[in-house]
A and B are shown apart, each in its own frame.
Chain A
Amino acid sequence: MKKLSTIQLLTAFALCTALLASCKKLIDVDAPGVLEEKNMYRNVYDADAAIIGLYGRFLTLAENYVVLNELRADLLTTTTNANENLIQLNRHDVKTGNPYANPKPYYDVILNCNDLLYNFNQMLAQKTLNQTQYNMRYADVASLRAWVYLQLGIHFGNVPYISNHIPSVTSLETLMQSDAAKPIAFSALLDSLISLQESLPYMDPYAAGTDLVTTVDGYSTAKFFINKKVMLGELYLWRGKNNDYNKAATVLKQVMETGGTGDFFTYRITGASKGDNNDLAVGYIRYNELDEYSLINNNSQGWRSIFARAEDRLFGYEWVWYLPYNSLFQPMNPFTKLFATNFLLKPSQQAVDNWNKQVQKNNFPYDARGPKFSYTMVGSEPQVSKYGYNANTEKWFLYRAAALHLAFAEAANRDGHRAIANALVNQGIQPTLGNRITNEGGPYLFDARKSDNPQVAADWYLNNGLRGRANLYTVPITTDSTIAIENMIVDEAGLELAFEGRRWSDLLRIALRRNEPAFLADKIYDKLRKQNDPSAATVRAKLMNKENWYLPFKW
């Protein structure tokens, strides 16, 4: 009997052991410190959290964006404090290991974009997202990914286009073996991005009422998200094939008319409000226009307030897309370090000269957007001031109405509507083209009529043009050619959008379009020459070869 009980016990013991071993639950533990894959993407709130996280990560690209797009171009240069990495960028002599030439931060955002897009598809299939929720979110993330890829293309030329999610190292190894991991040409990249962007199911900003559109820490999130139509328009401008310019003008025009009929202000670039100066224009106190010190130069009025004003009505007239910095939250504003505290970068002599070549309508021999607003003299050195006017409104400038109008003008000019392009950049539709409807068909219909009898106030009658808003005379166009107007548009972009991270892409796009390396090379040459940089001629020779327009994709 005792023997039997032994055997029974043994059997019981063996069973217990087997049970222990087979019970996966015994081994597996939940991961309390992190959110496991299986617990993610269960509902729309998870999807929204992923989008918030994505934009949080995206914010880390800000420094690279401004440094690469400005320092490689002609308006920004290094100070004596700058380190080797910045100097290499300035001289187009980037060596392996330069952290600004590291594509990884971009691909980190892309990895997250791909993860979101894949999971949104899964969620739609599982009906944890409904079609409307899916459309808005998918389009947003896909557009942001297009933005990041466009930046990669601009700076690295041929880059791998990864559009699949990479869930694990196993799938990464498969991917690395496949052709998808190989770089593709910039033109092929644009084709892929455009065909996806055209197919997006939703092109408007998040609808009001979506949880993502809310107020956090005092900021409205409505303009935190990329504008999908602007993205598409920019892509068309980059490709410039067939009727891409017309398509670009069409989508950009839709954004320009965001406010709809009866909104004379939103994204329409209106002029100075001379009576009270509550505007976004370069203005002076009324009847004191000839007094330099009566310049409207504060954080809540005039052109400077574009960068420094609180989020109010006028803020909404100009800003299309921005992301704020706040000293209470990471990451810290990287521009303070670059332009002020460490003073690593400063406006180039070329940029200073460009502004000083302009003449204001009060005949001051400069463009106040430069010496008064974009930079200030600290001792004998110019210091970029756009980013530092108001500690409470620091932000990454991503897109504003001025860039929108310049992009539209660029498209219109190439699409054969030079007069409209010229009007938008100079003094506005009505002042240039008259009190009428510019009925040139499609996106080129601007109703700029204004009359008291019959009472008509059309949507575009207050448009004052970029130079009109900046209180500048019209640029005389000696030869009314597409090229001349395009040059004027690029020059104006340099004056208006300097240091906002758009310059290199503007120069590169035009040089690519015209297949004219000298267009780009001469501008960089002038910058270096004016600061007596001994490498100026070498750099020019280098940039005459298209291959050298791109950073080495080695990491």
Chain B
Amino acid sequence: MASRDTLGFSNPAAIIQSMTSNNTSYRFVGGVTFNYQLSNSLTLGTTIAITSQKNRENFFIPERGIAPDTLFNGTLARNRSGAQVIKAFNTFNDTRISYYKAFNKRNQLNVKAGVRYNKTNGEQDYGLGFNSATDQLTGVGYGLNTLRQIGGSLGSATWLNMYVNADYNMADKYFITMANALDASSRFGHKIEDAGIEIGGRRFGVFPSVGAAWLISSENFMAAAPAINLAKLRVSYGITGNDDIGNYTARSYYVSQNLLGVAGLVRGGIADERLQWEQVSKLNLGLDLALFNERLQITADVYSNKTSNMIVYEPGPAITGQEYIIKNSGAMKTNGWETAITGLLINQNKFKWQLGFNIAAYKTSVTELPAGSFITSYAGGNTITSVGNAPNVFYGYKTNGVFSTDAAAAASGLRTKNADGSSTAFRGGDVIFSDNGDKIIDENDMQVIGNPNPDFFGGINTKLTYGNWTLDALATFSVGGDAYNYARRQLESQSGYANQTEAVMRRWRTDGQQTDMPKATWGDPMGNSRFSDRWIEDASYLRLKTVSLSYKVPIKPTALKYIHIYATGNNLITFSKYLGYDPEFSAASGIYGQGVDTFLEPQYKYMQLGVRFGL
């Protein structure tokens, strides 16, 4: 096998053949529920559940065929190994008492009160080894002692929730739901002021909610409209909170700081002991309709969510020396709607056709950010969070094509700012960046260039049944969301030896050439490949997600109840202008990585053929 090439690039075949990467995970979920009927109307119950999870990962990147990495102290890492164990143990208990009472047969009251308790312990340990003697020694322990890195973290959190829910159903026409919950968490600060209530020295968040539904179709006057089988109007308002604020963020603590090999302790920042839950108030209005013998069903919802006490990383004042101080000071609102229509278009004995369509849209905008907007960098791109915009919208340079001639570039007078503060004039073949008027292209010219949130999204599903044959299909779509194609940026930057896409064939080469692809320059001193709308693409798509054809073999149900033969195709066709592998790439788990395609694995196309026996 060939080693890495003379330009220092790894041999992809070496990575495929000799790199090892294993991930084993074990998960145990166990639960037991006891219910005790105290009387006809009272039930006492408890649920105890434990979850234990363990992930073991290890990898080895050999020396042969792969370019070495440089370690923090400048040593070349010829081969690299790593091992990691992540453990999580979770115990959960829900103890509740419920009360059910029917009054004069038409009114029903259902009350449930209880306590939920959750405790999580997590542990992560890792080791990284470098430069083992040969590529055959792949364990972390074989790496050089002096270079080995070990680390880990421990996490622990508890959550206690007391709740009471009451449902009242009046004459099967009016439904009222009221609920209240009190939440405490080990993550909340010890000195929360003016929020929630204090019980036993701990602040509890109070989260009430109320909902009402009116089954209009059960009213007498609706008898005049027989086409309407069901009409239900729903409205609800509630407040929820989360403790997703970091295990120890609200506490003052010390962290390790080394001096040579001796571990010392320093302050772990300045904690806000008033740190509390992020709170979301949700207002929802909904309508359920079923028409024409339930052959047409419609559900529609509009909602408005207001987030307050949102966790914000505020820049610390200079005198604290802290880059950030974490506070509950942001606010955000989300308004949206969703609707789904399902129609049974043909309903004969042998032939049935059902068609469904659902669509949803939402708009999020940040409403409060006391410390001002902030920019986050991810994969060489920037996102900005600012009042009046959705959080984390793409923030970079706008472009208007490529200068076709030196003269045109000179006429524009635009210059780019260099690292040493001086500036260089653009020339033919350079990208035309939008300028704020000072003729210098620098960070002041950055603007919002895209929003990863779609304008609307949804799906279409259909089911066709003919005798023993059934055809199912599901298509999904998303319109108006932008994606940052980091992968394409790497493949079209034309700044180094790395392989490029065919698109660079049309790059600018001669004065006067009209093209949209800038010239190739070593190291890209003019920043033609900087984070700009060149790399922001419309990630709208329509995708045939699944198609499934199945045949029910006609047999007499005996011990063998049924035999189904089926063929399923997944991700068969995608219509999209997106140039990357897949517009529906699985986004990173954090919010900062949303809509950023960092060579993410596409969802693959696959077919399944199968037989299902029912016993």
Residues of A participating in the B interface, judged by any CB pair closer than 8 Å: 2, 6, 9-10, 13, 16-17, 20-24, 26-37, 40, 46, 49-57, 59, 78, 80, 82-84, 87-88, 103-112, 115, 160, 162, 166-170, 172, 175-176, 181, 216-217, 219, 224, 323-324, 326-330, 332, 341, 553, 555
B154 adjacent to A33 (CB under 8 Å): yes
Say if the beta carbon of B320 comes within 8 Å of chain A. Answer: yes
23 contacts between A and B (CB under 8 A): A10-B38, A10-B97, A21-B162, A21-B184, A21-B199, A29-B158, A37-B252, A40-B265, A52-B265, A53-B254, A53-B257, A56-B258, A104-B320, A104-B322, A106-B321, A107-B321, A111-B267, A168-B272, A169-B271, A216-B262, A217-B260, A219-B260, A555-B318
A111 adjacent to B320 (CB under 8 Å): yes
Say if the beta carbon of B421 comes within 8 Å of chain A. Answer: yes
Residues of B participating in the A interface, judged by any CB pair closer than 8 Å: 38-39, 42, 44, 72-75, 95, 97, 115, 117, 119, 146, 153-158, 160, 162, 182, 184-186, 191, 199-202, 204, 247-248, 251-268, 270-274, 316-323, 325, 327, 417-421
- A34, A169, A323 interface centre (most CB from chain B within 10 Å): A169
A-B contacts besides A34-B255, A88-B421, A216-B262, 7 pairs, CB < 8 Å:
A17-B115, A27-B158, A28-B186, A53-B263, A104-B318, A111-B322, A329-B260
A332 adjacent to B72 (CB under 8 Å): yes
A6 adjacent to B38 (CB under 8 Å): yes
Closest to B199 in A: A21
B200 adjacent to A21 (CB under 8 Å): yes
Closest to B160 in A: A27
B186 adjacent to A29 (CB under 8 Å): yes
B200 adjacent to A169 (CB under 8 Å): no
A109 adjacent to B157 (CB under 8 Å): no
In the complex, the 9 A-B pairs of residues with the closest C-beta atoms, listed nearest first: A53-B264, A108-B321, A52-B264, A22-B200, A84-B421, A107-B321, A169-B272, A56-B259, A32-B154
Closest to B259 in A: A56
Contact with B419, one of A46, A84, A110, A167 (Cβ below 8 angstroms): A84
- Please give the distance in Å from B381's CB to the nearest CB on chain A: 20
What residues on B are CB-neighbors of A46 within 8 Å?
Answer: 265
- Please give the distance in Å from A2's CB to the nearest CB on chain B: 7
- Please give the distance in Å from A150's CB to the nearest CB on chain B: 17
State the CA gap A109–B253 with chains docked (Å).
16
A57 adjacent to B266 (CB under 8 Å): yes
What residues on B are CB-neighbors of A53 within 8 Å?
Answer: 254, 256-257, 259, 263-266
B158 adjacent to A26 (CB under 8 Å): yes
What residues on A are CB-neighbors of B270 within 8 Å?
Answer: 111, 166-169, 172
Closest to B314 in A: A169
State the CA gap A329–B146 with chains docked (Å).
10
Closest to B323 in A: A104
Known: A23-B200, A24-B200, A33-B154. A167 touches B252 (CB 8 A): yes
B327 adjacent to A112 (CB under 8 Å): no
State the CA gap A78–B185 with chains docked (Å).
54
A55 adjacent to B264 (CB under 8 Å): yes
State the CA gap A323–B156 with chains docked (Å).
37
State the CA gap A88–B420 with chains docked (Å).
9
- B117, B254, B317, B419 interface centre (most CB from chain A within 10 Å): B254
B44 adjacent to A169 (CB under 8 Å): no
- Please give the distance in Å from A20's CB to the nearest CB on chain B: 5
- B202, B266, B274, B420 interface centre (most CB from chain A within 10 Å): B266
Contact with B160, one of A26, A87, A166 (Cβ below 8 angstroms): A26
B253 adjacent to A56 (CB under 8 Å): no
B254 adjacent to A32 (CB under 8 Å): no
B255 adjacent to A169 (CB under 8 Å): no
State the CA gap A332–B158 with chains docked (Å).
39
- B119, B256, B257, B323 interface centre (most CB from chain A within 10 Å): B257
- Please give the distance in Å from A120's CB to the nearest CB on chain B: 14
Q: How many A-B residue pairs have CB under 8 A?
A: 223
B420 adjacent to A29 (CB under 8 Å): no
State the CA gap A18–B155 with chains docked (Å).
27
A50 adjacent to B251 (CB under 8 Å): no
Closest to A103 in B: B318
What residues on B are CB-neighbors of A55 within 8 Å?
Answer: 259, 264
What residues on A are CB-neighbors of B73 within 8 Å?
Answer: 327-328, 332
- A57, A109, A181, A219 interface centre (most CB from chain B within 10 Å): A57
Known: A6-B38, A106-B321. A324 touches B200 (CB 8 A): no
State the CA gap A131–B155 with chains docked (Å).
38
Contact with A170, one of B253, B274, B317, B321 (Cβ below 8 angstroms): B274
State the CA gap A332–B72 with chains docked (Å).
8
What residues on B are CB-neighbors of A176 within 8 Å?
Answer: 317
What residues on B are CB-neighbors of A2 within 8 Å?
Answer: 39
What residues on B are CB-neighbors of A16 within 8 Å?
Answer: 95, 115
State the CA gap A166–B204 with chains docked (Å).
27
What residues on B are CB-neighbors of A17 within 8 Å?
Answer: 115, 162
Known: A13-B44, A52-B264, A330-B258. A36 touches B253 (CB 8 A): yes
- Please give the distance in Å from A303's CB to the nearest CB on chain B: 27
What residues on B are CB-neighbors of A49 within 8 Å?
Answer: 263-265
B265 adjacent to A26 (CB under 8 Å): no
A168 adjacent to B271 (CB under 8 Å): yes
Known: A20-B160, A329-B258. A107 touches B44 (CB 8 A): no
- A17, A29, A326 interface centre (most CB from chain B within 10 Å): A29
- Please give the distance in Å from A24's CB to the nearest CB on chain B: 5
What residues on A are CB-neighbors of B271 within 8 Å?
Answer: 168-169
- Please give the distance in Å from B419's CB to the nearest CB on chain A: 5
A109 adjacent to B200 (CB under 8 Å): no
Known: A6-B39, A169-B273, A219-B260. A27 touches B185 (CB 8 A): yes
State the CA gap A553–B263 with chains docked (Å).
33
What residues on A are CB-neighbors of B117 within 8 Å?
Answer: 20, 26
Contact with B321, one of A82, A111, A167 (Cβ below 8 angstroms): A111
State the CA gap A361–B195 with chains docked (Å).
79
What residues on B are CB-neighbors of A111 within 8 Å?
Answer: 267, 270, 320-322
Known: A26-B158, A327-B73. A108 touches B264 (CB 8 A): no
Known: A32-B154, A56-B257, A88-B421. A168 touches B273 (CB 8 A): yes
State the CA gap A9–B36 with chains docked (Å).
11
Closest to B191 in A: A170
What residues on A are CB-neighbors of B262 within 8 Å?
Answer: 52, 216-217
Closest to A104 in B: B321
State the CA gap A46–B119 with chains docked (Å).
30
- B39, B74, B252 interface centre (most CB from chain A within 10 Å): B252
Contact with A13, one of B97, B251, B254, B318 (Cβ below 8 angstroms): B97
- Please give the distance in Å from A82's CB to the nearest CB on chain B: 6
What residues on B are CB-neighbors of A172 within 8 Å?
Answer: 270, 317, 320, 325
- Please give the distance in Å from B180's CB to the nearest CB on chain A: 14
Closest to B248 in A: A31
Known: A181-B319, A328-B73. A37 touches B266 (CB 8 A): no
What residues on B are CB-neighbors of A88 within 8 Å?
Answer: 421
A33 adjacent to B248 (CB under 8 Å): yes
State the CA gap A388–B160 with chains docked (Å).
58
State the CA gap A504–B541 with chains docked (Å).
61
- B117, B272, B320 interface centre (most CB from chain A within 10 Å): B320
Closest to A58 in B: B259
- Please give the distance in Å from A38's CB to the nearest CB on chain B: 9
What residues on A are CB-neighbors of B156 within 8 Å?
Answer: 29-33
A35 adjacent to B155 (CB under 8 Å): no
- Please give the distance in Å from A551's CB to the nearest CB on chain B: 12
State the CA gap A40–B320 with chains docked (Å).
20
A56 adjacent to B318 (CB under 8 Å): no
- Please give the distance in Å from A219's CB to the nearest CB on chain B: 7
- A30, A35, A110 interface centre (most CB from chain B within 10 Å): A35
What residues on B are CB-neighbors of A324 within 8 Å?
Answer: 260
Contact with B157, one of A29, A34, A332 (Cβ below 8 angstroms): A29
What residues on A are CB-neighbors of B327 within 8 Å?
Answer: 169
- Please give the distance in Å from B309's CB to the nearest CB on chain A: 14
A327 adjacent to B199 (CB under 8 Å): no
- Please give the distance in Å from B99's CB to the nearest CB on chain A: 10
